[in-house]
Amino acid sequence: MSTADTAPDEASLDERRAGGPATPADWRRLDRRTVLLAALVTAGVAAGAAVPTTLALSGRLGSGPAVAWVLTGAVLLIASGAGGDYVRWRRTRYRVGADRVELHTGLLLVKKRSLARERIRSVDLTAHPLQRVLGLVTVRIGTGEHTGGESALELDPVLRAEGERLRRALLERGLAATSGSHREGELVSLDPRWIRYAPVSFVAPALGGAAAGAVLQVSDWFGAQGRVIEWVGDRYRDTSLLSVIALLAVAGVLAGVVGALGLWVEMWWNYRLEREPGGTLRIRRGLLTSRSVSIEERRLRGVDLVEPLGVRLLGAARVDAITTGLAKDDEEQHDDHNTLLPAAPRPVAGAVAAAVLRETTSPTGAPLTAHPAAARGRRLRRALWVVLAPVLVLALLGALLTPVLLWIALGCAVVGLPAGVLLARDAYRGLGHALSGAYLVTRSGALRRSTAALERAGVIGWTVRQSYFQRRAGLLNITATTAAGASAYTVYDADAAEGLDFASEAVQGLLEPFLERVPPGE
């Protein structure tokens, strides 16, 4: 909740709910070094903005007055940042009661947040480089609900020892011992050789394009973008257009590879996966910014073996957790919070998946039921449409405007059609589903192949979809609905009768009331 300051009787009620009266000893403050941290961060921002600002002002005021104005502005900016954080530190307090965790903050608009301890699902610790130097961490206490930022409390920053104390206190709730004989302690740690999978991820080309954009943007800040483009043109004045395009593409790829390697090192250095007493999986990782994510095993509903195309061609896969109660807001969706293992050799990924689920072998390796040939035809037709639609548009424009577009259309057809057919056939070969012990398994995808092993007890519903064309081909999509992970795991283009039997057997009694059994002779 987020409200203005409550009346005395409401405050007393909150105190009783939290486990007793609010004595001064119950409440704690953030670490006072947050003021120093804010001053250092603001100083870094000011330093980054000082150079282009000074250059811009020098043309009008001269170098001396420009430097004076920039220094004055920097001092005021740093003082404002530190002063604002001092007020935040003075007006922020928190406490952990027997039943609730409370956070009070704000000056003009006072916010009082309260989370019931029984609803807490995650306590994650993060520390960027400055925080690590000062021995501080940011503690994020979340419920895993889809309610934006209101589903979590953030204590930024506290001492690392205090963060560890909070993590243990809030996650240890007398969990019953989980079944299985797998060991506690470290399950897997980083193998530096896994870095070879970073350049083949989809991140590399994106980073290459971002690098080119950054060069143009920075040159524009200094008013030199035209000179940069002219310099590149002069270097390749006597080179054909195709060669220039090829050279720029190679340069972009190299920049993307270097960026992907650096990003991988920052994200996964010092990685290790541990099982703590009481049934908690803990992932630690990060070179400059350290991260610690905890997942309760009792909320684990399965694993997802993810194989992007480039990683799969090298025989590797990563392992994601299918779990309830993990952070779901926009800030953390892009932070790999559910990744248990980065891209690693497939046997390692299978062993980690089995160890996490406390199984002898991973259910993701179970033999899968193949889908009918009609599913392959659907993928081939879809690939042809994806390739031929832009080719036809380019050909039409080429006939009306310029023959150059005709050559581009021809090139797209020559490259796109074989690639589309290969991807379509690969997507069909990847289709499959099976029941493996306590788990149902479904696999799909070509560019991003996903093999999800979902606990059958975690399925809360089924969604059956059948388009007109699927109905003619005798196919259907059947989706297992769950409160964990992506919330829906689909078996695509399965044989209609076999798919319904699969769902009925996976969770007995759930789909049966909606099925009409046909006698074998009819």
Q: Could you give the C-alpha distances from 221 to 25, 51, 56, 216, 286, in angstroms and in order?
A: 53, 10, 9, 9, 32
What angle in degrees, to the nearest 10, is found between the helix axes of 241-268 and 203-221?
110
Residue 62: the pLDDT is 81
pLDDT at 347: 96
For the chain, 522 residues long, the average pLDDT of each consecutive 10-residue run is 39 42 68 94 89 78 84 92 93 91 90 88 90 94 64 88 91 56 81 94 76 71 70 72 76 86 94 89 93 89 95 95 68 64 96 94 95 96 94 92 90 93 96 95 95 94 94 95 90 94 91 74 59
pLDDT of residue 431: 96
Q: How far apart are CA 297 and CA 293, in angstroms?
A: 13
Question: What residues are paired with 302 via a beta bridge?
Answer: 322, 454
Structure-block tokens of residue 156: 């930024």
- Reference 27, options 116, 96, 98; nearest CA is 96
End-to-end CA distance of the chain: 60
Paired tokens of 58: 């020098």
How far apart CA 142 and CA 325 sit, in angstroms, is 8
| Alpha-carbon gap, residue 409 to 382, rounded angstroms | 19
Count CB neighbours of 420 within 10 A. 19
In a 13 Å sphere around the CA of 514, the CA atoms on its Cβ side amount to 11
pLDDT tens sequence across 295-343: 888 889 999 999 999 999 999 999 999 998 665 544 444 446 789 999 9
Cα gap 35→392, rounded to integer Å: 62
User: Can you read off the two tokens belonging to residue 183?
Assistant: 């060991």
- E strand spans, 309-376: 316-323, 339-345
* Residues listed for the chain: 522
pLDDT score for 15 = 43
Residue 336 pLDDT: 65
Contacts of 441 (CB under 8 A, 6+ apart): 363, 364, 366, 368, 432, 433, 434, 435, 451, 452, 453, 454
